[in-house]
């Protein structure tokens, strides 16, 4: 029977190779794609052409803003329950400042979260198209 001698140096080297192999295998592009999809940043595209107030903007406001700024709730003098009220906030720059968390604006949503990049791009595109009531 042949004895196999493993020195500390050899053992450390073998452990290093094993750890490296695990890291390389776990850090594949597929793993990155899965993580992005879980975080809402998958490979889906954000189409911001021909934005419409009723179709594209209102659903974002409903999901993220109405609990504090609609249905008779007016926080910080802001209500977003109608096109004319939203347009006031568009014209004074508050909507973009708030949703992009720009310096000098109260970041919205107020709970510390933020809108997705696509939601922000959608609202910006609608404003850049003249913020039509469509």
Q: Give the three-class secondary structure for 41.
A: coil
Q: Say how far apart CA 21 and CA 72 lie, in whole Å.
A: 59
> What pLDDT, in 10s, does the model give residues 97-114?
999 999 999 999 987 689
Per-residue pLDDT of the chain (134 residues), as tens digits, is 555 566 777 766 667 565 554 444 444 434 344 434 444 555 578 999 999 999 999 999 999 999 999 999 999 999 999 999 999 999 999 999 999 999 999 999 987 689 999 999 999 999 999 999 99
Burial grade of 51 (CB within 10 A; 0-12, 13-18, 19 or more): buried
pTM of the model: 0.67
* Per-domain boundaries in the chain: 53-128
Radius of gyration of the chain (CA): 25
Phi, psi of 103 (to 5 degrees): -60, 135
DSSP 8-state assignment for residue 6: -
């Amino acid at each position: 029977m042949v004895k196999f001698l493993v020195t500390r140096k050899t053992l450390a080297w073998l452990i290093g190779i094993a750890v490296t192999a695990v890291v390389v295998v776990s850090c594949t592009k597929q793993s990155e794609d899965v993580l992005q999809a879980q975080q809402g940043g998958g490979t889906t595209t954000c189409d911001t052409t021909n934005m419409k107030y009723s179709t594209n903007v209102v659903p974002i406001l409903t999901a993220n803003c109405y609990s504090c700024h609609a249905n008779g709730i007016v926080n910080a003098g802001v209500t977003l329950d109608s096109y004319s009220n939203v347009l006031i906030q568009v014209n004074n720059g508050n909507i973009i400042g708030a949703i992009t968390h720009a310096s000098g604006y109260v970041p919205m949503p107020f709970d510390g979260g933020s809108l997705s990049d696509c939601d922000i791009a959608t609202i910006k595109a609608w404003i850049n198209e003249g913020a039509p009531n469509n």
